[in-house]
């Protein structure tokens, strides 16, 4: 609302602002108490008095709203809830196109586009090439680490005579002396029990000593086996294994979500050469005033933002960045679940559940330790491309917010929100856990005559394999035709 002079004409305040008549003279006015923080900070900084600022800017005193409701505490809460729910649910369901700003994968996407936007300036081109170099370093380190874990599982374990753990000892509390119950027989062919349960290293040592003495003194083999019981190899707690795999999947699913978001970005952003960098001085004040108020510098007016890219860049980013990122995640998920399924000790399970996820942190480690401060600043300031529109919320009056809140959140409308109770991300994690556990059982285990899951026949590899891709994805190398271990009694 504007103040009107006695004669009805427009006047000007002491700061040069026009004080004209209100186009809606009958509009209700809602008065409020004005404090120092409500006033125009620029004019206060210029030395004008509080009274002068109020006279020149009467809209800071009067707040006309044609349909502004009487603000009770109850309506205030409902308006706040209505606005928050509407905006936050749009963020949740629609989201935005965003990059991982602390990863070499995100830098390898953004920096070449910024360099393209600057017409391939020398500095930006060098930073883009540097980002690609660190991307290759990261992919090499992650792939090599996964290949080494695969070497341990597919080569070293068989060379040491170790069979797959499968479900040996999974039903240990119910076994007792019943050797015919599922999962109650160990790899040595005897009934499992807690006093006779050992890790593979201890069990294989005890078995070696018993077998060696039996071969040295065959006439006393029965006495030796009775006196030197090697025990059995099995899992200490099946449900601890399941819980640790669930924790592991929770840790790695966040990286999968980032990979999916990257594919979404490549699909959704406009397929045209848009700029990823712009200079945006404020339009609400001069640059000097903005710098003085917010302690800004010229760098704060430079904006980096996700935008469109040509089709060729989309294809290149999909093949060079997205595909390796997804394949490395797939290899880690399969390898990690396999490793935890082969871990018998409770403490080792708990520790390894989180230790394996360090492979997915290598990209962030490379970014934090090896990239320049220039790259880190650009990525930290990179703005997402929102896919939702908040113009409806911006233009919505308080009465409309209250009506929508009553319609959608109260009464019968609230029952349509019950779908939010279902935890979709939890369901995703559980589904992934079931898939990768099934993959382990399918590759390495079989049903025995009692219905338990035991290891398949084990064969010694003919030689060490140099197939890194095969080792990453659990492809077994060529092996000898004769097995070194089969399930006793079958």
Average pLDDT over residues 16-36: 41
Mean pLDDT of the residues in the chain: 84
Tell me: pLDDT of 176 over 80. Answer: no
**Token pair in block for residue 187:** 């790899």
**Token pair belonging to 67:** 């349909």
Question: Average pLDDT in the 80-106 region?
Answer: 90
* pLDDT of amino acid 39: 43
294-298, 414-418, 440-444: least confident range = 414-418
Q: How far apart are CA 184 and CA 197, in angstroms?
A: 11
Q: Does residue 430 register a pLDDT over 70?
A: yes
SS3 302: strand
pLDDT for 43 equals 43
What's the confidence (pLDDT) of residue 185? 87
Q: What is the pLDDT of residue 10?
A: 42
The percentage of residues in the chain with a pLDDT greater than 70, rounded to a whole number, is 85
Instruction: Report the pLDDT averaged over residues 152-167.
Output: 92
| Sequence-ordered list of residues with C-beta below 8 angstroms from that of 121, at least 6 positions apart, any chain | 115
Helix (H, G, I), strand (E, B) or coil at 40: coil
In tens, the pLDDT along 289-329 reads 888 888 999 999 999 999 999 999 999 999 999 999 999 99
Whether pLDDT at 240 is above 90: yes
Decide if pLDDT at 17 tops 60: no
The pLDDT value given to residue 178: 60
Q: Determine phi and psi for 479, rounding to 5 degrees.
A: -125, 165
385-397 pLDDT, tens digit per residue, is 988 888 888 888 8
Regarding pTM above 0.85, the answer is: no
Write down the domain spans for the chain.
11-66, 95-156+238-407+420-430
Would you report the helix, strand and coil content of the chain in percent, each value rounded to 5? 60, 10, 30
Q: Is the pLDDT of residue 353 over 80?
A: yes
CB atoms within 10 A of CB 66: 10
Q: How many whole angstroms separate alpha carbon 318 and alpha carbon 306?
A: 16
The string of DSSP codes covering 176-232 is TT-TTSTT-B-TTSSB--GGGEE-HHHHHHHHHHHHHHHHHSGGGHHHHHHHS---E
The neighbour count for residue 367, using CB atoms within 10 Å, is 25
Cβ-based neighbours of 80, under 8 Å, separated by 6 or more = none
Q: Confirm if 258 and 437 have CB atoms less than 8 A apart.
A: no
Element (H, E) at 85: helix 73-93
Confidence at residue 18, expressed as pLDDT on a 0 to 100 scale: 39
Report the C-alpha gap between 344 and 257 in whole angstroms.
Answer: 30
CA distances from 286 to 100, 282, 297, 304, 341 (A): 34, 7, 13, 21, 64
CB 221 within 8 A of CB 209: no
Decide: residue 207, CB within 10 A, 0-12 exposed, 13-18 middle, 19+ buried: buried
| CA 344/CA 244 separation, integer angstroms | 12
Longest Cα pair distance anywhere in the chain, in angstroms? 128
Cα 287 to Cα 267: distance, rounded to the nearest angstrom? 37
Is the confidence at residue 363, as pLDDT, over 80? yes
What is the per-residue pLDDT for 70?
A: 58
Task: Judge whether residue 194 has pLDDT over 60.
Answer: yes
- Residue 60 pLDDT greater than 60, yes or no: no
Average pLDDT value for residue range 392-414? 85
Q: How many residues does the chain have?
A: 490
pLDDT tens for each residue of 184-193:
888 988 888 8
């Amino acid at each position: 609302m504007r103040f009107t002079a006695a004669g009805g004409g427009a006047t000007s305040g002491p700061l040069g602002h026009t004080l004209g008549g209100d186009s809606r003279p009958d509009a209700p006015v809602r008065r409020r108490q004005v404090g120092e923080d409500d006033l125009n900070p620029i004019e206060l900084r210029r030395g004008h008095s509080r009274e002068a600022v109020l006279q020149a800017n009467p809209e800071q005193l009067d707040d006309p709203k044609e349909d502004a409701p009487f603000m009770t505490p109850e309506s205030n809460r409902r308006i706040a809830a209505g606005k928050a729910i509407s905006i936050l649910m749009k963020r949740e369901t629609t989201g935005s196109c965003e990059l991982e700003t602390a990863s070499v994968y995100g830098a390898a996407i953004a920096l070449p586009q910024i360099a393209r936007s600057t017409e391939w300036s020398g500095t930006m081109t060098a930073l883009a090439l540097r980002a690609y170099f660190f991307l290759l370093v990261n992919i090499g380190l992650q792939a090599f680490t996964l290949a080494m874990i695969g070497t341990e599982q597919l080569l070293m374990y068989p060379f040491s005579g170790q069979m797959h753990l499968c479900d040996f000892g999974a039903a240990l509390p119910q076994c007792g002396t019943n050797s015919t119950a599922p999962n109650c027989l160990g790899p040595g062919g005897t009934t499992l029990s807690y006093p006779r349960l050992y890790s593979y290293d201890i069990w294989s040592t005890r078995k070696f000593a018993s077998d060696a003495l039996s071969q040295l003194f065959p006439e006393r083999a029965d006495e030796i086996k009775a006196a030197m019981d090697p025990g059995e190899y099995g899992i200490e707690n099946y449900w601890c294994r399941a819980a640790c795999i669930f924790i592991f999947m929770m840790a790695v699913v966040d990286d999968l979500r980032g990979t999916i978001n990257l594919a979404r970005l490549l699909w959704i952003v406009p397929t045209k050469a848009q700029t990823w960098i712009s200079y945006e001085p404020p339009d609400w004040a001069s640059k000097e005033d903005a710098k003085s108020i917010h302690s800004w510098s010229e760098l704060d007016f430079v904006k980096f933002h996700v935008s469109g890219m040509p089709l060729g860049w989309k294809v290149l980013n999909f093949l060079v960045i997205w595909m390796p990122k997804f394949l490395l995640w797939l290899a880690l998920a399969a390898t990690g679940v396999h490793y935890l399924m082969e871990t018998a000790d409770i403490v080792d399970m708990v520790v390894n559940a989180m230790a394996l996820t360090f492979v997915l942190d290598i990209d962030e480690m490379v970014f934090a330790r090896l990239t320049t401060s220039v790259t880190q600043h650009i990525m930290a300031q990179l703005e997402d491309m929102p896919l939702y529109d908040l113009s409806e919320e911006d233009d919505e009056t308080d009465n409309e917010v209250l009506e929508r809140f009553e319609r959608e959140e109260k009464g019968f409308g609230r029952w349509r929100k019950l779908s939010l109770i279902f935890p979709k991300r939890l369901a995703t994690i559980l589904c992934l856990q079931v898939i990768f556990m099934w993959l382990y059982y399918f590759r390495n285990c079989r049903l025995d005559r009692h219905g338990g899951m035991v290891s398949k026949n084990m064969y010694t590899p003919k030689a060490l394999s140099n197939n890194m891709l095969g080792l990453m994805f659990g492809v077994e190398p060529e092996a000898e035709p004769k097995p070194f271990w089969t399930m006793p009694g079958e």
